[in-house]
Amino acid sequence: MIKTKRTGARLFQYAWGFKRPILIALALLTLAVCAELAGPLIAKRMIDRHILGIEYAWYEASPSDKAAVPYDGKRYKRSDHWAEGETKGPEVRVLQVGRSYYFIAEPLAFDGKRSVEGGRLTVSTDGREAAYAAKQLTSAELFGFYRPELSVLLVLALCYFGLLVLSALFTYGQRYLLQTSANRIIARMRTDVFAHVQRLPVPYFDNLPAGKVVSRITNDTESVRELYVNVLANFFSGIIYMGAILGALFLLNPTLALIALPMLPITYVWILVYRRFAAAYNRVIRSRLSDINGIINESIQGMPIIRVFRRQDHTMKDFERLNGEYFTYQNKMLNLNSITSHNLVNVFRNIIFLIVIWMFGGKWLGPLVTVGVLYAFVDYMNRMFQPIVGIVNQLSNLETALVSAERVFELLDEEGTDVASGKLERYRGDVSFEDVHFAYKNDEMVLQNISFEAKQGETVALIGHTGSGKSSILNLLFRFYDPQRGTIRIDGRDIGGIPRQLLRQHMGIVLQDPFLFTGTIASNVSLNDPAVTRDQVEQALRDVGAYDMFAALPGGIDEPVIEKGSTLSAGQRQLISFARALAFDPAILILDEATASIDTETEAVIQGALDVLKKGRTTFVIAHRLSTIRSADRILVLDHGRIVERGNHEELMRQRGKYYQMYRLQSGEASADSAGDAGLRIAPAR
């Protein structure tokens, strides 16, 4: 419950950012409700006074009174049309019996059950009975008695219609403003979520599949949009409607209002019971939907591996399990919604109507409630149950939206790093590691006692078995992670005090499996950074020897690149990745197995370009092919997170240690046994 309140408070904060249009919308909604609810009061007046008012007392008027109704050679005017001080003649009555109307030339002693027989109208009640001479009115004569009311009825009808038009206009305005505000709120929320994703540390994505993150940015925020567009609109309008209707009912008849009043606590209890079950169901539903998105995303990306290793059936079973759980809880929600649907509202409404009709037909309400009041009550109750139905029908969307909002806010609550603005002056590129210790998990050290220096313009190669800590060193240099102990410096400055974004401004990296974005070859080199000009893009491609290759394509360097560059070869993707790193003119260049997926001919092109590009830059190279690092200024040999050998190629060959054995093995000068003697091992990858 506390979590739900906190979620509600944060949703309110988002809405408060657009308070002006929302408050205007609520004001328009209030006006729409007032305009609409004035209708039954007008209808009551039309019925009780101007239609059923024909049974009021009539008095004989002077022959010259043009406002009086002519009948049988005399003129009559209804009691409520006489001005104060006018002289009234004898009283007469017009009474309805069945579907006919009768004229009685005398006052009515009391009212009750009416019957007509042989020109005599009999009224009986409580054992009393009175008979009157009666004459049935023709349609023309009856219309004559109604003629004075026609102009007023027409005005009231026009007022009723005008109020409906005003209500429609106000309703349109409030819905437009609410939906526009909701779209703006969700646009801001999605922007906040996506911006926060950019600030999240790399370890966060190690533990959460991409599909789940996508689900929170798209599906969950869309559910929250439904909260602002439909749920809150129905709740606001429902509360205003019910409050206004209860007020109108108390004005109309306090007794009838008390009969309708229990619907409020019933509705409140109803909502509490529904939410108790729905919240648990919706949490599972949203979680399973996120899992389904995750497995779909993973399956699409890993489809070649799934096919090669014949894991289709296994993947399908995982999907069916998640889909089955999603289906099960959706059915539970369906059953809950069916039980508490608007049909139950109709049951309550009909029970109230039966009670009122029974009381109206008996002694309790009959003398107190007119037909017009009864009509207005029925109209108001129908209008009151409409917002109740609207609220009940939106309860499922409310719970879905609250659960989705919780998931969105959980993502926003993840600790991130603020994006630093400004620029950092390009550093020389002197790098030093001083007794660095690091563990991805606190009890599993990946790096221990790592100390080395790399001067500007030098090339440092990192080699070692899988899991020896090569990539971890570069992860620390980029500050994807921070060490548990030790210090990393660039140009003598501790990088722990440099904002991550500024630190990486002058770093470039080329991965073994480069990632290309949807766009063009040129946009993948520049990453649409306005600071990288077209000339710099072309020069970077020339430096890596790829310009002529791409210029020969139909679109040249503007050739479209689809997702992940799947239409390009591995070598072409790698060349684009090289050009991308070089276009930003980094002070520190990282090559992480950069030539592992490139054919020998392409590698030769890149190797020739690197000899030029390394000048003035500090370059770190991770490579398994030792032939590519022979010219490195310093080679660090790692074993289980420690540097066990260091030096250049010639120095390490003279030491006849691990590097010597590895090099001879790769060059074919040693047998596999020599590799075993050198202690080469395979460890879990990191």
- pLDDT given at position 378: 76
C-alpha span between 592 and 577 (Å, rounded): 12
Structural domain includes residue 128: no
List C-alpha distances in Å: 416 to 188, 193, 205, 419: 18, 11, 12, 9
SS3 annotation, 455-477: CCCCEEEEEECCCCCHHHHHHHH
Unique residue bearing structure tokens 């007032």: 34
The dihedral sign for the CA sequence 602, 604, 607, 608? negative
Structural domain includes residue 132: no
Statement to judge: residues 633 and 665 lie in one domain: no
Structural domain includes residue 418: no
Statement to judge: residues 633 and 655 lie in one domain: no
- Give tens-digit pLDDT for 107-154: 988 888 899 988 899 999 888 899 999 999 999 988 989 888 888 889
Statement to judge: residues 498 and 405 lie in one domain: no
Burial readout 32-67 (b: 16 or more C-beta within 10 A, e: otherwise): bbbbbbbbbbbbbbbbbbbbebbeebbbbbeeeeee
Rounded (10°) CA dihedral 327, 330, 331, 335: 180
Parallel, antiparallel, or unpaired for β 128-136 and 120-125? antiparallel
List C-alpha distances in Å: 524 to 71, 197, 509, 514, 572: 96, 21, 14, 11, 12
The dihedral sign for the CA sequence 596, 601, 606, 607? positive
In 210-269, where do the E strands start and end?
A: none
The dihedral sign for the CA sequence 616, 622, 628, 630? positive
**Beta bridge mates, 436:** 450
DSSP symbol at 506: G
Statement to judge: residues 455 and 379 lie in one domain: no
Statement to judge: residues 666 and 630 lie in one domain: no
Task: Tally the domains of the chain.
Answer: 3
Residue 282: exposure state from Cβ atoms within 10 A (0-12, 13-18, ≥19): buried
Helices 263-301 and 232-252 cross at an angle (nearest 10°) of: 170
Statement to judge: residues 210 and 242 lie in one domain: yes
Residue 358 contacts by C-beta under 8 Å, 6 or more apart in sequence? none
Burial readout 83-116 (b: 16 or more C-beta within 10 A, e: otherwise): eeeeeeeebbbbbebeeebbbbeeebeeeeebeb
Which CATH number do you get for residue 23?
1.20.1560.10
C-alpha span between 448 and 432 (Å, rounded): 15
C-alpha span between 581 and 606 (Å, rounded): 13
Statement to judge: residues 393 and 506 lie in one domain: no
Which CATH number do you get for residue 613?
3.40.50.300
Looking at residue 348, its amino acid is F
Structure tokens at 62: 């002077």
Looking at residue 497, its amino acid is G
| Helix/strand/coil percent split, the chain, to 5 | 60, 15, 25
- Is residue 105 within 8 Å of 86, Cβ to Cβ? no
Structural domain includes residue 82: no
Structural domain includes residue 530: yes
- Is residue 456 within 8 Å of 431, Cβ to Cβ? no
Looking at residue 590, its amino acid is I
Unique residue bearing structure tokens 């790096």: 447
178: left (phi over 0), alpha (psi -120 to 50) or beta: alpha
20: left (phi over 0), alpha (psi -120 to 50) or beta: alpha
Structural domain includes residue 354: yes
Domain assignment of residue 522, given as a range: 431-647
pLDDT along the chain (686 residues), means of 10: 68 86 87 82 83 87 86 89 85 90 90 88 88 91 88 89 90 86 87 83 69 75 80 78 81 77 76 76 79 81 77 86 89 78 67 70 56 73 74 75 83 76 82 93 86 92 88 89 92 89 84 82 88 89 84 89 76 83 86 68 65 78 82 91 93 92 77 42 36
Statement to judge: residues 590 and 673 lie in one domain: no
72: left (phi over 0), alpha (psi -120 to 50) or beta: left
Residue 115 contacts by C-beta under 8 Å, 6 or more apart in sequence? 97, 121, 122, 124
Structural domain includes residue 133: no
The dihedral sign for the CA sequence 406, 408, 414, 416? negative
Statement to judge: residues 377 and 438 lie in one domain: no
Statement to judge: residues 172 and 252 lie in one domain: yes
Statement to judge: residues 306 and 324 lie in one domain: yes
- Give tens-digit pLDDT for 425-444: 888 889 999 999 999 877 78
Structure tokens at 186: 């969700």
**Beta bridge mates, 103:** 94, 135
Statement to judge: residues 37 and 172 lie in one domain: yes
| pTM greater than the 0.75 cutoff | no
C-alpha span between 569 and 565 (Å, rounded): 8
Looking at residue 150, its amino acid is L
- Is residue 589 within 8 Å of 617, Cβ to Cβ? yes
Let me know the angle formed at the C-alpha of 44 by 28 and 250, rounded to the nearest 5 degrees. Answer: 65
Structure tokens at 626: 């030792």
* End-to-end Cα distance, the chain: 41
Structural domain includes residue 158: yes
64 backbone dihedrals φ, ψ, rounded to 5°: -90, -5
Structure tokens at 28: 């328009």
The CA radius of gyration of the chain, in Å to the nearest whole number, is: 43
